[in-house]
């Protein structure tokens, strides 16, 4: 039994709680985004153990970072070997891993044009770099982004982040960002059911925006996630994405494809943009690129990523040699094991298994996604599609108690986020579906206390 009465669980977490308390005392709440009192002690492939010895299946994979599994042997070996040579030296000297990773990324990313690479530390800093490069390249003042988007937490990242509280956004003195509607085929505007028609509807709103409201020629860039993760796993129709490419070309805007969450095989293709048969001007990578090490990359048209002077996007620890050595091992692991194809196959299986829950429960409104980037939309009932965030939180709480790590996100905070390592065994997926099934039942039948909702800091 938990010794802390404020945590409504009978799970044994006594060793973890003092660490949780220290966080409360010393770590800024601006970094506190905790769903459960799990203090991680060990992780391997799709499993995690906490300080109390509890074992979990990981459906979160550190926010879709561990595509190749936790503590992947190839990455651990590459980093250890590099650490034995030297840890890192800032960008005043050359090192082999950066040259190798840049060459690799130029070769494997879509775009049959001359490309160059800027390596950073996080997805957010890479998006920031891509946006600054686009502003400098075009010398135009405006940026187009999308409602409920997430691109990181640098100043520009907050400015373009459609999922942030507008009050927080207003504190950033860059007000030239305009938010376009990201297509939602489950709750499409004007209740349109047909995805193609739905895509056309959103596209025509964008067309009108640039023709009638703000001249398309005044925009430096449009930044878009090819599947909107934090918006709630929204997969745009292909015609929408093709239209976005046409519009950005028409007005000479840089199309920035934020693949921080979708990249490195997660959606069943190496890069999610490949589902739509379009080529962006810049691709941004992070998370899974490093295989767990802090590495990000902006891969783009040479003239865009070289539009600023040397040292414009320079950080002492950026392109960190040992981390980049890990990233090379991670990218090779994805390629050699064709993990994108594995993700497509496992994703089909898992979507089918989750679809069984949709048949079984009135509160499962939609199961959607691509590859192993899936979302389960929890609703009051199928007909109204009214989002039920409270129920979703109760489901993940009970799932945690039963040994599954899964969080909620989405524009209404009601979508179960499913993003396990692409290397997850089928048995783990089956057990996880069983846990979700039992947890939905418990939550629907009132066996999860309302107070759990107050405990979690969760997406709204
Ligand atoms: C689509 C997308 N872009 C950017 C980021 C920011 O990446 P990071 O947290 O590594 O800065 C995230 C992180 O969740 C993301 O999902």
CATH number of 17-64+338-455: 3.90.1150.10
Is the CB of residue 56 less than 8 Å from the CB of residue 43?
no
CA distance 316 to 309: 17
Is the CB of residue 422 less than 8 Å from the CB of residue 266?
yes
The per-residue pLDDT for 311 is 86
Q: What is the mean pLDDT of residues 16-22?
A: 93
Answer whether 184 contacts ligand 1 (Cβ < 6 A).
Answer: no
The per-residue pLDDT for 2 is 47
For 52, other C-beta atoms within 10 Å of its C-beta total 16
Residue 22, token pair as written in the block = 């220290």
3-state secondary structure of 125: helix
Q: Is residue 91 packed enough to be buried (19+ CB in 10 Å), middle (13-18) or exposed (0-12)?
A: middle
- Quick one: pLDDT band at residue 5, thresholds 50, 70, 90? low
* Closest atom of ligand 1 to CA, residue 149: 1
Q: Which residues pair with 143 in a beta bridge?
A: 177, 221
Q: What is the mean pLDDT of residues 247-268?
A: 98
3-state secondary structure of 410: coil
Interval between CA 157 and ligand 1 midpoint (Å): 9
Mean pLDDT for all residues in the chain: 96
Say what angle helices 96-108 and 321-336 make with each other, to 10 degrees.
Answer: 30
CA distance 35 to 217: 43
Q: Is the pLDDT of residue 321 over 90?
A: yes
Answer whether 286 contacts ligand 1 (Cβ < 6 A).
Answer: yes
Interval between CA 443 and ligand 1 midpoint (Å): 31
HSE-CB of 280 using CA atoms within 13 angstroms: 28
What distance separates the 2 farthest-apart alpha carbons in the chain?
Answer: 62
Q: Is the pLDDT of residue 32 over 80?
A: no
- Quick one: pLDDT band at residue 455, thresholds 50, 70, 90? confident
CA distance 100 to 298: 15
Q: Is the pLDDT of residue 411 over 90?
A: yes
CA distance 330 to 53: 28
Q: Is the pLDDT of residue 460 over 80?
A: no
Q: What is the mean pLDDT of residues 90-119?
A: 97
- List, in sequence order, the alpha helices (H) in 12-72: 17-26, 61-64
Residue 232, token pair as written in the block = 């709630």
The per-residue pLDDT for 459 is 74
The per-residue pLDDT for 171 is 96
- CATH architecture classification, 73-336: 3-Layer(aba) Sandwich (3.40)
- Quick one: pLDDT band at residue 1, thresholds 50, 70, 90? very low
Answer whether 150 contacts ligand 1 (Cβ < 6 A).
Answer: yes
Q: What is the DSSP letter of 300?
A: E
Q: What is the mean pLDDT of residues 252-274?
A: 98
Answer whether 377 contacts ligand 1 (Cβ < 6 A).
Answer: no
* Closest atom of ligand 1 to CA, residue 125: 11
Task: Give percent above pLDDT 70 in the chain.
Answer: 99
Answer whether 124 contacts ligand 1 (Cβ < 6 A).
Answer: yes
CA 264 and chain centroid, separation: 12
* Closest atom of ligand 1 to CA, residue 126: 11
Could you please report the per-residue DSSP string of 265-278?
TTTSSSSGGGGGT-
Identify the weakest region by mean pLDDT among 90-94, 99-103, 295-299: 90-94
Identify the weakest region by mean pLDDT among 29-38, 134-143, 325-334, 415-424: 29-38
* Closest atom of ligand 1 to CA, residue 228: 1
Nearest to 54 by CA among 35, 36, 76, 73: 36
Interval between CA 84 and ligand 1 midpoint (Å): 30
Answer whether 229 contacts ligand 1 (Cβ < 6 A).
Answer: yes
* Closest atom of ligand 1 to CA, residue 294: 10
Residue ranges per domain, the chain?
A: 17-64+338-455, 73-336
Nearest to 64 by CA among 139, 150, 157, 5: 150
HSE-CB of 104 using CA atoms within 13 angstroms: 21
Q: pLDDT tens digits, residue range 109-130? A: 999 999 999 999 999 999 999 9
- Quick one: pLDDT band at residue 136, thresholds 50, 70, 90? very high
3-state secondary structure of 379: strand
Answer whether 305 contacts ligand 1 (Cβ < 6 A).
Answer: no
Q: Is the pLDDT of residue 132 over 50?
A: yes
């Amino acid at each position: 039994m938990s010794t802390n009465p404020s945590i409504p669980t009978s799970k044994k977490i006594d060793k973890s709680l003092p660490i949780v308390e220290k966080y409360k005392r010393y770590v800024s709440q601006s970094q506190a985004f905790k769903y459960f009192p799990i203090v991680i002690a060990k992780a391997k492939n799709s499993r995690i153990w906490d300080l109390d010895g509890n074992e979990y299946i990981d459906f979160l994979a550190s926010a879709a970072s561990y595509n190749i599994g936790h503590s992947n042997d190839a990455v651990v070996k590459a980093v250890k070997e590099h650490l034995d040579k030297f840890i890192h030296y800032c960008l005043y000297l050359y090192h082999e891993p950066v040259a190798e990773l840049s060459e690799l990324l130029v070769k494997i990313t879509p775009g049959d044009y001359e490309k160059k690479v800027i390596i950073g530390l996080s997805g957010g800093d890479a998006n920031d770099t891509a946006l600054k490069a686009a502003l400098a390249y075009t010398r135009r003042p405006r940026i187009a982004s999308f409602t409920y988007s997430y691109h990181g937490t640098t100043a520009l990242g907050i400015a373009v982040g459609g999922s942030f509280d507008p009050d927080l956004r207003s504190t950033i003195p860059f007000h030239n960002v305009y938010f376009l509607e990201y297509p939602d085929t489950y709750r499409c505007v004007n209740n349109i059911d047909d995805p193609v028609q739905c895509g056309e509807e959103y596209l025509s709103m964008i067309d009108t925006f640039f023709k009638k409201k703000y001249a398309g020629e005044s925009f430096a860039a449009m930044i878009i996630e090819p599947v909107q993760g934090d918006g709630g796993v929204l997969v745009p129709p292909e015609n929408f994405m093709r239209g976005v490419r046409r519009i950005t070309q028409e007005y000479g805007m840089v199309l920035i494809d934020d693949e921080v969450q979708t990249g490195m095989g997660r959606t069943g293709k190496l890069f999610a943009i490949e589902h739509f048969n379009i080529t962006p001007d810049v691709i941004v990578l992070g998370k899974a690129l490093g295989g767990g090490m802090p590495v990000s990359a902006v891969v783009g048209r040479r003239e865009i990523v070289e539009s600023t002077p040397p040292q414009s996007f320079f950080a002492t620890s950026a392109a960190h040699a040992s981390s980049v050595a890990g990233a090379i091992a991670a990218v090779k692991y994805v390629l050699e094991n064709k993990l994108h194809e594995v993700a497509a196959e496992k994703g089909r299986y898992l979507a089918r298994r989750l679809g069984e829950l949709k048949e079984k429960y009135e509160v499962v409104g939609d199961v959607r996604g691509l590859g192993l980037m899936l979302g389960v939309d929890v609703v009051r009932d199928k007909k109204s599609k009214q989002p039920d965030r409270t129920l979703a939180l109760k489901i993940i709480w009970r799932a945690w108690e039963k040994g599954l790590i899964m969080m909620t996100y989405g524009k209404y905070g009601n979508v179960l986020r499913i993003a396990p390592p692409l290397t997850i065994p089928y048995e783990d997926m089956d057990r996880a579906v069983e846990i979700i099934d039992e947890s939905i039942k418990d939550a629907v039948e009132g066996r999860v206390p309302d107070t759990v909702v107050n405990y979690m800091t969760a997406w709204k």
